[in-house]
Amino acid sequence: MAMSRSRIEWTEATWNPVSGCTPVSPGCLNCYAARMSVRLGHMPNGTGEKYAGTARVGAEGRPVFTGIIRLDPAALETPRQWRSPRIIFVNSMSDLFHRAIPDRFIQSVFRVMKDCGWHTFQVLTKRPERVLELSRKLEWSPNIWLGTSVETASYFDRIRLLQRLRSPAVRFLSCEPLLGPLNRLPLKGIDWVIVGGESGPKARPVKAEWVEKIRLQCVQKGVRFFFKQWGGTNKKAAGRRLGGRTWDQMPRVHRITVGGP
């Protein structure tokens, strides 16, 4: 099966065994995944069935998730069919730890990730409290990274929940869309921080001093720092250089050879 290549700068491919989500914080206001779901929901040849109804166009023309969640059991086998090692973003179009997703399905996703040790899996959630609840029931392995989204300082509690988890090989933060300053960022036990401004229609602005302050905190704590984009309505034109250079630091990738291709 052909690899689903990603345009997301910090990953190489995406894998979506679930579609649909529910907004939980201000970062969800202009969600790119909701915008894509609206478009995909109108596609023919089976693709539309997976995404139809999961998102709609809401107030001021903004796309929004409806709360409809669809599981795609057939997609569970997809990573096994990708023979070349890749870094894979899990559920870029949803949140694996949404309350509507059954425990057993999440366990199945983790089993596939463990079996596919030649890949590296990046799981990003806005619901770390559920990860904490399920952690002991999941099959963790060194090729599974876990991150949480932190758009403003109001969501530092998500970081503290992530810090309580001992099983993930890599713990990371996605500060995107960055909507305010993140001073005194709690970075103990955090391996990697991604920062990015919001992009697309009606994008909210990001300030350079917010980004630079996060970078300096990462330097002081020895945490890898990745600057994804300035964003805006023209992401390409705005670029992704900070201080005259790009910042593409990544955690070390761990490859498991047993059971690999």
Model pTM score:
0.94
**134 close to 108: Cβ distance less than 8 angstroms:** no
Do strands 63-65 and 13-15 pair parallel, antiparallel, or not at all (unpaired)? unpaired
Q: In angstroms, rounded to a whole number, what is the distance separating the alpha carbons of residues 47 and 62?
A: 22
What beta strand segments (E) does the chain contain? 13-15, 18-19, 55-57, 63-65, 70-71, 87-90, 120-125, 144-149, 170-175, 192-196, 224-229
Q: In angstroms, rounded to a whole number, what is the distance separating the alpha carbons of residues 211 and 197?
A: 9
- Spell out the residues 6+ positions from residue 191 whose beta carbon is closer than 8 angstroms to its own: 170, 171, 172, 223, 224, 251
Residues in the chain predicted with pLDDT less than 50, given as ranges, are 1-3, 259-261
Q: In angstroms, rounded to a whole number, what is the distance separating the alpha carbons of residues 224 and 74?
A: 35
Query: How many C-beta neighbours within 10 Å does residue 151 have?
Result: 23
The CATH architecture to which 13-18+71-238 belongs is: Alpha-Beta Barrel (3.20)
Q: Which of 74, 75, 53, 72 is nearest to 64 (CA)?
A: 53
Q: Which of 115, 147, 144 is nearest to 128 (CA)?
A: 147
Report the pLDDT value the prediction gives residue 234, as an integer from 0 to 100.
85
**50 close to 40: Cβ distance less than 8 angstroms:** yes
Do strands 55-57 and 63-65 pair parallel, antiparallel, or not at all (unpaired)? antiparallel
Residue pLDDT, tens place only, 231-258: 988 888 999 999 999 999 999 987 766 5
SS3 content of the chain, % helix, strand, coil (to 5): 30, 20, 50
Q: In angstroms, rounded to a whole number, what is the distance separating the alpha carbons of residues 15 and 232?
A: 26
Query: How many C-beta neighbours within 10 Å does residue 180 have?
Result: 15
Report the pLDDT value the prediction gives residue 209, as an integer from 0 to 100.
98
- The one-character DSSP state at 5 is B
Residue pLDDT, tens place only, 39-51: 999 887 767 899 9
Q: In angstroms, rounded to a whole number, what is the distance separating the alpha carbons of residues 199 and 233?
A: 6
Report the pLDDT value the prediction gives residue 107, as an integer from 0 to 100.
98
Q: φ and ψ at 196, to 5 degrees?
A: -160, 145
- Spell out the residues 6+ positions from residue 62 whose beta carbon is closer than 8 angstroms to its own: 29, 30, 202
Q: In angstroms, rounded to a whole number, what is the distance separating the alpha carbons of residues 187 and 192?
A: 9
User: Domain segments of the chain: what residues?
Assistant: 13-18+71-238
